[in-house]
Amino acid sequence: MRPSPASPPIPPSPRPPVTLRTEPDPGDAATAPLWRAAQAFRLITLLYAIGQQFASVSHYTNQRLSWVFIALMAVWTGVSAILLSQWRIHNVRRVRTAVVIGDHVVVIALIFATRLVADFDWYYGHQTLPTTLWAANAVMSAAILWGPFGGVCSGFLIAAAILSARARWDLDIWRDATAPVLVSVGLAIGLAANTAHRAQQQLQRAVRLTAAAQERERLAREVHDGVLQVLSYIKRRGTEIGGPTAELAQRAGEQEVALRVLLSEQGGRADTGGVEQDLRPLLTAQATTSVLVSTPGEPVPIGRFEAREISAAVAAALANVAQHAGSGAKAYVLLEDTGDELIVSVRDDGPGISAGRLREAEGQGRMGVSRSIIGRIAAIDGTAHLLFEADGEEGTGAEWEFRVPRQQR
């Protein structure tokens, strides 16, 4: 039996080329100006460190080695400034994290290298080889990348390295401004970075809402010119013809209302998943051809439990209208936000509720109104009132008013 020839090795698939971005990532766009400003500061502090080198080199015990360290400082300044100021490179945050960590390693190494080029009498009373001003670059980078906590920790770390290299762990430490300056820089830059991130998030949210509103208006115009007009025509003609087409007219009317509600809520009333939610969608979802819902144009945020209880109470009131007011009755739901309290009104044009009917039903053990309506509103510290009772005359109707106080935020 002849062995089968060995199959040729499969060449590895080529890696996709790294594509450069033409604009910064939204998460990095907020701090891009801070990174550029920090690198400009880095170059300025390098010039100061070189000037300090010229002023101090005559006091060093190993002058040639000190110039080697200054050259290393200049090379690292250029490399780190280029890497930290770029946003077009792939995995920019990972690159910046590596550079910031390397920044701390280089700074601390140069700080302790001062003992290799100067004696105790010099470095105890003077700045280290990399001046405090140049060492602050590592603190600024950490603050931009990791926020105020990272900036403060970096400030303490660099300050501890400087004080250790200078052997200043004595009573003179309280007269040394190294630690307060570095920690303050880390805190201030970190807070500025956090503020920039929040501002960028708010800007992105505003842009998304604006784009959603424009798309909603465009979609509403197109739907209104087509689908809504057809549904309205079917509803009108089906009602006029009557008979079996009446049910078709009713279904078309319901879909027309549902579509109008969907268009009015698209993009502007999304649930953000927080502790509060907009009450308006919960009420407008109950709109039908016989139930008209009116809400404010602005969001009405309220606690999730309160929103569910108000919506359930309104649903119970509308169920009573459908059950007792007849099939031809209309109901109207109105939501008002006064700032101090929410007012929800549910009114119908049916025969109304006769005087004493609620107390009579409760005495008979029928707790639908007292529990489903009054009890729900009372559970959220609100009040539910039947504003007027009728004597059974057609068209008089009934009106419930729910008042729920706003919680102090």
Helix (H, G, I), strand (E, B) or coil at 374: helix
Indicate whether 20 pLDDT > 50. Answer: no
**Is 94 part of any domain?**
yes
pLDDT at 174: 66
Residues 53 and 194 in one domain: yes
Q: How far is CA 199 from the centre of its chain?
A: 10
Per the model's pLDDT, the better-predicted residue between 4 and 76 turns out to be 76
Report pLDDT digits (tens) over 106-115.
999 999 999 9
Residues 180 and 47 in one domain: yes
Residues 39 and 184 in one domain: yes
Q: Which of 148, 169, 202 corresponds to the end of one domain?
A: 202
**Is 208 part of any domain?**
no
Indicate whether 389 pLDDT > 70. Answer: no
**Is 36 part of any domain?**
yes
Query: Strand locations in 193-290, DSSP E?
Result: 276-278
pLDDT at 312: 86
Counting every residue, how long is the chain? Answer: 409
- Cβ burial 367-398 (10 Å sphere, 16+ → b, else e): eebeebbbebbeebebebebeeebeeeeebbb
Partners of 302 in the β-ladder: 277
Per the model's pLDDT, the better-predicted residue between 18 and 290 turns out to be 290
Q: Which of 202, 222, 240 corresponds to the end of one domain?
A: 202
Residues 62 and 185 in one domain: yes
Average pLDDT across the chain, whole number: 80
Per the model's pLDDT, the better-predicted residue between 143 and 363 turns out to be 143
Q: Which of 202, 219, 249 corresponds to the end of one domain?
A: 202
pLDDT at 273: 53
Report pLDDT digits (tens) over 319-368.
888 777 776 788 899 999 988 899 999 988 877 666 555 666 555 445 45
Number of domains forming the structure of the chain: 2
pTM of the model: 0.55
N-to-C CA span, the chain: 86
Residues 181 and 284 in one domain: no
CATH code of the domain containing 326: 3.30.565.10
**Is 12 part of any domain?**
no
Report pLDDT digits (tens) over 231-274.
777 877 887 787 778 778 777 777 776 676 666 655 444 455 55
What mean pLDDT comes out for the span 157-171? 83
**Is 19 part of any domain?**
no
Is residue 181 within 8 Å of residue 136, measured between CB atoms? yes
Report pLDDT digits (tens) over 113-130.
999 999 888 888 888 888
Percent of the chain at pLDDT exceeding 90: 29
Separation of alpha carbons 408 and 134, rounded Å:
49
pLDDT at 388: 63
Is residue 347 within 8 Å of residue 367, measured between CB atoms? no
pLDDT at 97: 92
What mean pLDDT comes out for the span 51-71? 92
Separation of alpha carbons 167 and 173, rounded Å:
10
pLDDT at 391: 52
Tell me the residue range of the domain where 87 lies. Answer: 26-202
pLDDT at 345: 92
Q: Which residues contact 311 (CB under 8 A, 6 or more apart)?
A: 279, 282, 283, 286
Banded model confidence at residue 409, pLDDT cuts 50, 70, 90:
very low
**DSSP codes, 49-77:** HHHHHHHHGGG-S-HHHHHHHHHHHHHHH
Per the model's pLDDT, the better-predicted residue between 267 and 155 turns out to be 155
Indicate whether 371 pLDDT > 50. Answer: yes
Q: Which is nearest to 397 in space by CA: 357, 353, 355, 349?
A: 349
In the DSSP assignment, the letter for residue 177 is: -
Residues 282 and 172 in one domain: no
Residues 318 and 404 in one domain: yes
